[in-house]
Amino acid sequence: MYVDVHAHIDVESFDGDRDLVLSECEITVINAGVDIKSNLKTLELYKKYNNVIPAVGFHPEFVKDKLDEVDKCLELVDNVNIISEVGIDYFWIKEPEFRKKQLEILSKFLDKGERQRKPLIIHVRGGINDLINLLSSYNVNFVIHAFEGSPSVAQKIVELGGMISIPPVIVRDKYRQEVVKNIDLNYILTETDSPFLPPQKMERNKPCNVIFTVKKIAELKKIEEKEVIRQIHENFTKKILMK
């Protein structure tokens, strides 16, 4: 059974073939909401598909224009077991006051995750040190989704008790390949971030493309694919389902 710990299959580009996309391989998909509308859509998908697990959050890119949605998104967390998409994005958001706001919002989700014992699947683009500082004062299970840092930063994440999630774009991304070589498989998860980050440029990404990630991990670690699939599933059960 494959695992996609971070996807956005609620988006319009899946309206025509969502059933097919969710059934073309044996997979469990965590769908991450990014604002009120997509959080609600995520909860609907959960009712319809038994291999979709809902996650609710507030995307840091919306810190400027959807700030009024934060409280409602926080409230919706009470309906799910996983918090996502949350995080910080210094690539798109340059103003210090809005970066500070992102950290404040993330703190609120971290508070909730800690109190309700729910894992967080976190987006970070730039600002990794701010994120590490913030995370070190919380006792939560967390995953850095589509991790794009160096092996030494990945090591820091692992030391803090976090997990690193790898998208299929790894097939053409030497930096992520280095990370996978250097980090123990016990701390790695697979995802797609569908419809983004496809294995080949300009394609629409889809959950079953985690197969490409698994193949690449097996090649880099010099182990069998079925062992990668088994260990990733075990990591997912322990760290995200917390069973």
Looking only at residues 8 through 67 of this chain, which bind Zn ion when binding is defined by CB under 5 A?
Answer: none
| Residue linked to tokens 């009470």 | 78
- Ramachandran area for residue 43 (φ above 0: left; ψ -120 to 50: alpha; else beta): alpha
Looking only at residues 186 through 215 of this chain, which bind Zn ion when binding is defined by CB under 5 A?
Answer: 193
Q: How many residues bind Zn ion (CB under 5 A)?
A: 2
Rg (CA), the chain: 17
| Residue linked to tokens 């103003």 | 95
Please report how close the Cβ of residue 196 comes to Zn ion at its closest, in angstroms: 7
Q: Specify the residue, 10 or 85, whose C-beta has the smaller distance to Zn ion.
A: 85
Q: Specify the residue, 141 or 205, whose C-beta has the smaller distance to Zn ion.
A: 205
Confirm or deny that 203 is annotated as ligand binding. no
Listed residue (177, 155, 175) closest to 221, CA to CA:
177
Q: Are 181 and 195 in contact (CB under 8 A)?
A: no
SS3 category, 25: coil
Alpha carbon 128 to its chain's center: 15
| 40 token code pair | 């609600």
Confirm or deny that 123 is annotated as ligand binding. yes
Please report how close the Cβ of residue 227 comes to Zn ion at its closest, in angstroms: 28
Q: Which amino acid is at 21?
A: V
Rounded Cα gap, residues 208 and 219, in angstroms? 18
Q: Specify the residue, 126 or 221, whose C-beta has the smaller distance to Zn ion.
A: 126
Rounded Cα gap, residues 198 and 191, in angstroms? 11
- For Zn ion, what does the binding mask look like between residues 131 and 170, x meaning CB under 5 A? ----------------------------------------
Q: Specify the residue, 37 or 181, whose C-beta has the smaller distance to Zn ion.
A: 37
Confirm or deny that 8 is annotated as ligand binding. yes
Please report how close the Cβ of residue 84 comes to Zn ion at its closest, in angstroms: 8
Strand partners, 28: 3
Confirm or deny that 233 is annotated as ligand binding. no
Strand partners, 2: 27
Confirm or deny that 59 is annotated as ligand binding. no
Please report how close the Cβ of residue 85 comes to Zn ion at its closest, in angstroms: 5
Q: Specify the residue, 85 or 89, whose C-beta has the smaller distance to Zn ion.
A: 85
199 prior amide bond cis, ω within 30:
no
Please report how close the Cβ of residue 224 comes to Zn ion at its closest, in angstroms: 30
Please report how close the Cβ of residue 78 comes to Zn ion at its closest, in angstroms: 22
Q: Which amino acid is at 153?
A: V
- For Zn ion, what does the binding mask look like between residues 63 and 92, x meaning CB under 5 A? ----------------------x-------
Return binding residues for a divalent metal cation.
6, 8, 85, 123, 145, 193
Residues of this chain that interact with Zn ion (CB under 5 A) are 85, 193
Q: Which residues are annotated as a binding site?
A: 6, 8, 85, 123, 145, 193
